[in-house]
Structure 1
Amino acid sequence: MKHALYALTALLAIAGPASAIEGFKAGPVIPDFGPIADNLKPDVATPKDQDYRVSFDIADGATPGEKSRQIETLARFINMMVDAGVPKERLHVAAVFHGGATVDVAKDDYYTANKQAANGNAALIAALVEAGAEIYVCGQSATRYGVTNTDLLPGVKMALSAITAHAMLANQGFRTNPF
């Protein structure tokens, strides 16, 4: 199963636009990112009348210049939930970046100077922020990598630490997604 998931992830990464991936379509909220399965008929109902507060922990940095599959998971979650009939207003999504992923939320000038490539996640982060996702970066990791508040992409907020951000989100009822 794990190998099949890796194979699907690799396929999605190289296959191009969502409409070009057999069995997948562009999502209704963030169509350029997070393709979702088309014509899926789940046996388990997705409640449409509850709020979903989901946070993601992102520690692994993307390959320089490429889009992070971990970050795209947020777009996929938003897209599939709305496609399943959950009102967008009921979705509360957050991500906490730390470790090697810290630079993935940095502006191109910082990113290019440190990775010798353009930030392949900048458009994805912008789309997530526009869709209402909260994006935090660990201040401890930022200090380690020399990232300042002014180096961050628009909408990204500096937290004291990843631990603090996760505690704050947990106090607000968020559950950390294990993927």
Structure 2
Amino acid sequence: MDKLVNFEFWYGGSFDWGPIIQYVGGQCKIFENIDVSTVCINSSKDISVEVGESSEAKYWFICPNKTLQNGLTNIVEDGDIVMMLKAYASLDNVVLYLENVYIPFIQFDTRENLDYEKRIVESEFNNDDVNLDDEEHILEDENEVGAEHDSDAPSSVLGDMEGTRDEDVQSSINDTMTRRE
């Protein structure tokens, strides 16, 4: 068995990269007596899952006797783990940070979304007071969409198949914006 170390593992927060780097909103859990010969990038991911965080995160450590400003180092691969363990070779406590990586939800415009947006533009263009939340109105439009297409493909694909569908919507939006100016 190799040397045993304690991991001071900060999680649940994120870095504020302002003029002074800070880790905000997190909490700390100490993992004691970790055999350094068993530490790898996957063990960091296992620790993340154990504390209820995503394994898809960024991992960081602070070089000994340094601050967040001048010693924060990103852990990407096992080579970074080896470098970290060498830096902490004479110490018993290793300081690690986890920063979740949030992947933004990308919403594809479906045919229904474009129809809804077009109705908004058309109602503004015609100065109509159309109640777009009216269930009967929405159901009628959904039935029309179902009759026209059997596909749930994104609108850009349908637009290519239909020719100028996307251009018509964009043209209506541009016309409305021009009138407002």
Do the two structures share a fold, i.e. TM-score over 0.5?
A: no
TM-score (norm: length of structure 2): 0.21
The structure whose Rg is larger is 2
